[in-house]
């Protein structure tokens, strides 16, 4: 059974160490039947190459806001309209702040402003960054606006500390996607 058959997921990848987990998430979403396109922030490309996502999604990963190959250079509008869900995993503290305050200075943040479909974020950062009042305020603001906040998980972090801030595992995120998009159908 493919619970995400005919669903179109735009996976946004931001510049945190957890970006490597997003390749597995892409694979799992596709195994569940979803069509997946990936949009990366420039910082994300320092952690994982766009070619990795092209290999696992079957589509070129997008990084550039202004795409001269897209119709009339408005590829971000076309891509935002294509998606049934925008999932940002990992969502760094920086990206959460930009999203909360309506900034559109790269492809991914622009896509988030140009959609009327659900947006979900999977926070991933150091435990102190997660606990910071600014990050918590940004997440509360996003939640009030209807953005789904999935995570973070608790455990050992890349910095060696233990606490809240880990990106949820791919299988858990995929389950959230199935639950959200299934609920929208019913």
Residue 22 lies in a domain: yes
Domain that holds residue 60: 8-185
Distances in whole angstroms, Cα of residue 97 to Cα of each of 56, 93, 109, 123, 129: 29, 6, 11, 11, 12
Residue 1 lies in a domain: no
Residue 174 designated active-site: no
For position 20, which CATH number holds? 3.40.50.1950
Residue matched to tokens 């179109």:
8
pTM for the predicted model, two decimal places: 0.94
Tens of pLDDT along the chain (186 residues)?
799 999 999 999 999 999 999 999 999 999 999 999 999 999 999 999 999 999 999 999 999 876 666 555 556 788 899 999 999 999 999 999 999 999 999 999 999 999 999 999 999 999 999 999 999 999 999 999 999 999 999 998 888 888 899 999 999 999 999 999 986 665
Domain total in the chain: 1
Q: Which of 112, 139, 159, 174 is the catalytic position?
A: 159
Residue 152 lies in a domain: yes
Q: Give the SS3 label for residue 120.
A: strand
């Amino acid at each position: 059974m493919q619970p995400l058959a005919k669903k179109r997921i735009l996976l946004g990848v931001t510049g945190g160490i957890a970006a490597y987990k997003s390749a597995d998430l892409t694979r799992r979403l596709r195994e569940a039947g979803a069509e997946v396109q990936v949009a990366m922030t420039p910082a994300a490309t320092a952690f994982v190459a766009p070619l990795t996502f092209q290999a696992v999604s079957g589509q070129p990963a997008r990084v550039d806001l202004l795409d001269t190959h897209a119709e009339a250079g408005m590829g971000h509008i076309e891509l935002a309209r294509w998606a049934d869900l925008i999932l940002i995993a990992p969502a760094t503290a920086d990206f959460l702040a930009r999203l909360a305050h309506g900034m559109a200075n790269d492809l991914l943040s622009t896509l988030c402003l140009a959609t009327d479909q659900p947006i979900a974020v999977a926070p991933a950062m150091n435990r102190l960054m997660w606990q910071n009042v600014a990050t918590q305020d940004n997440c509360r603001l996003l939640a009030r606006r209807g953005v789904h906040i999935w995570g973070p998980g608790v455990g050992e972090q890349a910095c060696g500390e233990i606490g809240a801030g880990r990106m949820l595992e791919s299988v858990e995120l995929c389950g959230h996607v199935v639950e959200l998009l299934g609920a929208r159908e019913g």
